[in-house]
Amino acid sequence: MAEPLLLTYNLSPDAFIALHALCGKLGIRCRPVKPAEYALPVGALAGIPVAANADSPTGAAEAGFDDGMLVICHMLSDQLDALLEGLRQSGPRVALKAVLTPSNVAWSSYRLHAELAREHAALRRR
């Protein structure tokens, strides 16, 4: 199995330091994703050989996004549970979180962000 990895997007320096410390305790590598990488497949960012699909950014997505997002990659359930509990207890607070799956591995960060934002908004309306 690949090394446990957490892809991070748009975290403040303090939030990234706190998250990096939490991940270090759990044996998880923490990797900030740069805006220049947002069009790449999320799986490729996680070290999985995957071809880009046809969801390249268009319209508003080209401007990127500036809210925080986390993508959880290659974690066993115990590590995932510990990470989520650590986030609940001490933050940082990041509303948009996803687990890398066969369904989203070829998506760009733009597409993943759009899907998570849509789902988050739907949950808030309930």
**pTM given for the model:** 0.90
Amino acid 53: pLDDT: 63
Amino acid 4: pLDDT: 97
Mean pLDDT by 10 residues, the chain (126 residues): 93 96 96 96 95 54 81 96 95 93 96 94 86
Amino acid 92: pLDDT: 87
The dihedrals phi and psi of 86, each to the nearest 5 degrees, come to -60, -40
Give the count of alpha carbons within 13 A of 6, CB side only: 28
| Cα separation, 51 vs 31, whole angstroms | 21
Residues facing residue 6 across a β-bridge: 30, 72
**Cβ distance 7 to 42 under 8 Å?**
yes
Q: Where are the domains of the chain?
A: 5-125
Residue 37 DSSP symbol:
G
